[in-house]
Each structure stands twice: as C-alpha cells, then as structure tokens.
Amino acid sequence: MDVPHRPPRHPHAWLPLLLLSQLLVAWAWWRWGWPLGLPLMLASHGICLWGVLAPNVALYGPVLSRLPTADRSVWLTIDDGPSDDTAAILDLLDAHGAKATFFLVGERAAARPGLVREIVARGHGIGNHSLTHPQARFWALGPRRMRAEIEGGQQALATITGTAPRWFRAVVGHANPFVSAPLHEAGLARVGWSARGFDALDGDVERVLGKIERDLAPGAIVLLHEGAAHGRNPGMIAQLLQRLDARGYRTVLPDP
C-alpha cells in the first residue's frame, strides 16, 4: 500500500515558535500584569507538554496515525521485540496469511539477530523502536541521548538486516522537541496508532481485544506488543487475527 512517508522536513521549526510564544507571554505580563501573564505562561507550557505526552500529536514533527484508505485493511504493528514471543507470533501470522511491522529495540535485536532475520525472511516489516527502550524517561531525553537512542537503534537493525528502517515508533508514543532532528537525518517517519488495547500492561484478553475492536476502522494502525510480563501477547494476537478474519479485514504493509 502506498502510504505517505514523511520524515520531519524542518526539525528545528519548534524553536522560533517557542521563543515567539514566550516573548508574547512576557509582553502580556508586562502590559497587563500577572492576572493575564501567568495563565498565558501556564497555557503555553501546557501546549508544549501536550505535544510531548500525547502520542499522535504532530507539534514536534509529522506522525502517521492511520492509513489513507477506505478499504477494510489495517496495519498491524508489534512493539518491544524481539522476545521469547517472536517465533510464536510469526507462526500465527503465517497461519492467517497476515503481515505486520515489528518495531524492534536495538539492543534486544543485537542479542537475537536470528529472530530479526526470520521476521524479514517471512515477509514482515522492521521498524526502529529506539536502542534501549527507556520508557520511564524517553519523553525527557536531551538532544544527545535522544540522538543516541534513534541512531543506535537504526544502526543495530541496519547491521543485522542490511537495510535501514524507514519507520520509527517513539517509546510510549512520546516525542519531545529533540526527536525531529535525528529522524530527519536518518530519513525516518514517525508512526503512531489509532487502535490499541494496552496489551503491554493488561493481561485480560477480552478487555484488550474489546478496546482494539472499538477503534477498528478502515486504515487503522493497530498497536500491539510482545514479551509482556503477563505472557499473553501471542494469545491476544491469535484471537485478534481470528476476529479480523471474521470481520473481513486484511492486513497490509506500507510500501516498500
């Protein structure tokens, strides 16, 4: 499927906008005092934080959250591997004639290169999901560490497969101002999602699948995980594939 691939074109565009907003806040504070200046300052900071924490917000660069199609097709994306679940998930996908993109963590990929090559050999996609998956602090990484996470993940996966990934999934979906520059330089486009069940945390299969099904629609990007502590990710994916088949959905991968 032909999907717009949009790496950030102007990775530092946020900086003049931020400076301008704070100059306006300072002017309003000087002109009308704190009763207006303080709320404006809090609002401007809130908008900046919203762009960091909200997964599909494009404040710091483009993010793809659904496919441009009216067909009953979805893009399955599987985060956090490779893991002990990867082989079982590949067999499930094969059994249903389904395809998915695996957003892999660089260090985990380097530890299990055979699984990474098997993903590619079976016709699935590979995406960059950072080098070390620092989920508690990815949102607050500075420019040097952010670059190391993105470039390190890219290098690890390219070394194993011979091809650099084209898609990036931010850890926990967070993206601060320092994400765009390394994505621009690596030619990576950021991918969000439009359907999720919180399967990385919730081990209740019916509850997880119910949340995903509520958001299923033509062009949905479905967020899934592997290797969760509850150990039920393969079972969840098995049932999701059955339900997709029953509802007439097919899985697609973005070109190429």
Instruction: Give residue limits of the domains in the chain.
Output: 14-53, 63-251
77 beta partners = 101, 223
Q: Which of the following is catalytic: 10, 79, 184, 230?
A: 79
Q: Which of the following is catalytic: 184, 225, 230, 255?
A: 225
34 confidence band (pLDDT: 50, 70, 90)? confident
Q: Is the pLDDT of residue 38 over 80?
A: yes
256 confidence band (pLDDT: 50, 70, 90)? low
Predicted structure pTM score: 0.93
**Class of domain 63-251 as given by CATH:** alpha beta
Whole-number pLDDT of residue 13: 85
12 confidence band (pLDDT: 50, 70, 90)? confident
Active site residue 133: no
What 3-state DSSP class applies to 250? Answer: strand
Diameter over CA atoms, the chain? 67
Which residue reads 């249903």 in tokens?
Answer: 96
Strand extents, DSSP E, 146-219: 167-168, 189-191, 195-196
Q: Quote the mean pLDDT of the chain.
A: 95
pLDDT tens, position by position, 110-164: 999 999 999 999 999 999 999 999 999 999 999 999 999 999 999 999 999 999 9
Euclidean distance between CA atoms 31 and 28, whole angstroms: 5
Q: Is the pLDDT of residue 51 over 90?
A: no
Q: Is the pLDDT of residue 214 over 90?
A: yes
Q: Is the pLDDT of residue 255 over 80?
A: no
Q: What percent of the chain has pLDDT over 70?
A: 100
Active site residue 12: no
Euclidean distance between CA atoms 138 and 175, whole angstroms: 8
CB 199 within 8 A of CB 228: yes
